[in-house]
Structure 1
Amino acid sequence: MFTLTTWEVASMNNNSHVILCGQISQYNKDVPYPPPLSEEIQETLRTKNITRERFTVLNYMNKADAALCELSQLVKSGHINVLETVVEGIEKMGDAFCSMMKGGNIGKQIIKISE
């Protein structure tokens, strides 16, 4: 999980934006989302007018086709490298899922069940 430090927030520009995403490893934890911040960081966010937001991909479905086209071209050209964690065998699916929910994967979690 990514957590802002006091130094990082203090180094940010006025009117900056922090987007919270990729927090699947936090879904089953007994902590609030987004994570609570110290009073010092909250004050710096207020003083510098820094927004801290989360987003849901479903809010952008109207842009999905164009994004898929652009992203696939970037992957094909090598400008974006796709990261994957591959586990072989359907019998390991449960372990792979639990690992993913704890942040144990890098990139997309894949269960390979055949060639």
Structure 2
Amino acid sequence: MSMNPLIDSLMLKMRHNRVYTAVTFARLFGVSEKTVEAALATLIDAGKVRTWANARRDVGYCLTGTTPMSSSTVLSEATTVATPRLIRRVDGPLTGYDRELDAHRSLAMLVRR
């Protein structure tokens, strides 16, 4: 363990496969963001933590030896082939919603009782 209690607390809070920001730790520990960044720089120099940039180019920190899944990677894997745009036009009055509105009204009355 190190002599700095903030560094010890950071190592206890960090989990594998998660990315943290300095702002998150600053709020959690009630210290300034610069203090947290200095402690994280010490951990980076020691080889225990590394930086991680997300799609918005925010700098995050994760434990060394982990590769966190970013949301942009998950989104790109779920993307399908593009299709032509579908344009819906509603020119007349809407019909067929009476039954659905009655069901919502009756459910609201049941909850109200």
> Taking structure 2 as the reference length, what is the TM-score of the superposition?
0.25
Structure showing greater Rg = 2
> Taking structure 1 as the reference length, what is the TM-score of the superposition?
0.25
Higher strand share: 1
Higher relative contact order (CA 8 A, sep 6+): 1
